[in-house]
Amino acid sequence: MSLLLLDIGSGTQDVLLVPDEVLEGRWPLENCPKFVLPSPAQQVARRIRACTAAGQGVHLHGEIMGGGFFRALKAHLAAGLPASSTPRAGLSLFDNPAFLEAMGVTVRETCPAGHIPIWTGDFSWPWWQGWLAMADLPMPAVVAAAVQDHGHHPEGGNRLGRFRLWETFLRQGQGRPEALLFDTPPLEYTRLAALQGSIAGGLVGDTGAAAVLGALFDPAIDALQRQGGVCVVNCGNSHLIAFLIHDGRIWGVYEHHTGMRSREELLDDLAHFRRGTLEQAQVHASGGHGCLRLPPPATAGEFEELVVLGPQRGLLAGGEGDAANAPAGRLIAPGGDMMLAGAFGLLHGQRLRDAAG
């Protein structure tokens, strides 16, 4: 039973198609088709910009998805053009419709005359059937996907709200990253629930969980974290997240916005985070989500090993010939492709879940 695995970020969606031949061991994993495509939010943004250029109003309708089209919509309104949205599609940007109305977007179920309808959603079966058909590939029976979900917070405060979800996982759960892949997402995860409905019930999870599972998909990193503590840093296009992991368990998480931290600031944050001397309030005050580090076993040390992945990993990659800017850690490419780390992570997480029964 073939698998379609999607790691959907703000800029790209990174996709791994695992045919039956690979799952059954008849082909090597390297034969899997792979895609790095614009994210669904970027596709919506392009449609909005096309309407702006044509002087046409837009109407958003569909499902909850990533809000990466916010700037395009804001520019559309700034150009003096009208925009409307269904309440459901509007949840892609704000959990409170009053915030959307204050922005200048009319909230209504029907498309006004003269507006161009634009569908929102992280996954569309017809789109994927068409894309794969062009490559003469069948549509897999099973889809698993990861997105970033801030949770549902109508009062605002998405940064703190999202971090409370990490805190609950670390304090009340076992800290196993595969536990962040859900058969049924918690109620707070409205975007994950919408995504799971769109993919017909497959596993869903957070992109952060997919990234750390992707690092563990690399046998060398998996062996390293069993010997001592490892800090895995995923530098995404919009968000930057780091995990402290040892013996298959997450002991700490740090999350910020990629564009808000210089190399020096990030290295300083990570040094304090690994030692347990970085405070949640410091991270939030600088525009980030937060950090939390639980007391690890002595065998973890201070998580000296640093592993870096993600499309913006150049932030920590360093410059050539400059000792001061030498790579800050190991730059890894799980499965041979750094951009597919999250997709390989979904595959690894599913295997771990199957092994645990």
Within 10 Å of residue 337's Cβ, how many Cβ atoms? 16
Q: How far apart are CA 153 and CA 188, in angstroms?
A: 8
Position 323 scores a pLDDT of 46
* Contact status, residue 212 vs residue 253, Cβ threshold 8 Å: no
Whole-number Cα distances in Å, 64 to 51, 210, 304: 21, 20, 39
Domain boundaries in the chain? 3-19+145-356, 40-120
Which helix (DSSP H) or strand (DSSP E) does residue 32 occupy? none
Q: What is the 3-state secondary structure (H, E, C) of 160-186?
A: HHHHHHHHHHHHHCCCCHHHHEECCCC
Q: How far apart are CA 322 and CA 51, in angstroms?
A: 46
Q: What is the CA radius of gyration of the chain?
A: 21
Domain 40-120: assigned CATH number: 3.40.50
* Contact status, residue 27 vs residue 52, Cβ threshold 8 Å: no
Q: How far apart are CA 303 and CA 316, in angstroms?
A: 17
Of 27, 209, 190, 6, nearest in space to 95 by CA: 190
Q: What is the pLDDT along the chain (357 residues), one digit of tens a residue?
A: 789 999 999 889 999 999 989 888 899 999 899 999 999 999 999 999 999 999 999 999 999 999 999 999 999 999 999 999 999 999 999 988 999 999 999 999 999 999 999 999 999 999 999 999 999 998 998 999 999 887 776 665 566 667 777 777 787 767 888 888 999 998 888 999 999 999 998 999 989 889 999 999 999 999 999 999 999 999 988 889 999 999 999 999 999 999 899 999 999 999 999 999 999 889 989 988 889 999 999 999 999 999 999 889 888 876 544 445 556 788 999 999 999 999 999 999 999 988 877
* Contact status, residue 233 vs residue 287, Cβ threshold 8 Å: no
Position 180 scores a pLDDT of 86
Q: Where are the alpha helices (DSSP H) in the chain?
A: 20-23, 40-54, 70-78, 87-90, 97-103, 125-134, 158-172, 190-198, 207-217, 219-227, 263-275, 280-285, 314-317, 341-356
Position 174 scores a pLDDT of 75
* Contact status, residue 289 vs residue 163, Cβ threshold 8 Å: yes
**What pTM did the predictor assign?**
0.90
Position 77 scores a pLDDT of 98
Beta-carbon contacts of residue 344 (< 8 Å; ≥ 6 apart): 5, 16, 213, 214, 217, 334, 335, 337
Whole-number Cα distances in Å, 279 to 196, 231, 255, 318: 34, 17, 12, 27
